[in-house]
Amino acid sequence: MSQEVIDFIEALREPWQNELSTRLRDVVHQALPDVSERIQYKKPHFLKNGKYAAVISTSKDAVSFTIFNADGLDLPDGMFEGPAERKTIKLRKGDSFDAGQLSAWLSQAAETL
């Protein structure tokens, strides 16, 4: 785990963004135990075998989680946005997510990385 990523998450102004980002980071590490992480483009990026697997980004009113290499995923309509190769879910204050399902999708997407 990267201290850079820890510092980024801890520095988030909104406690709910900190909590969501921490939970999403935990999902990544659950799905991909050998993942490496770093701050790139001012966001936490997670890499498997040197290739992007996921990224967490924050905005004023949301925390977004992007899964890369998402072409073959069977995702529910309306839950994710973006082109076939990368799908993003936007979470806002009070939103929840199924950590087990998100972990399974990420694990499946990263199988070929």
What's the pLDDT tens digit per position in 41-63? 999 999 999 999 999 999 999 99
**H-helix segments, the chain:** 3-10, 15-31, 99-110
Verdict on whether the full-model pTM lies above 0.75: yes
Structure letter (DSSP) for residue 81 = B
Query: Is there a contact between 95 and 16 (Cβ–Cβ < 8 Å)?
Result: no
Instruction: Please tell me what DSSP assigns to residue 75.
Output: P
Q: Are strands 63-68 and 51-58 parallel, antiparallel or unpaired?
A: antiparallel
pLDDT per residue over 88-102, tens digit each? 999 999 999 999 999
Average pLDDT for 59-76: 96
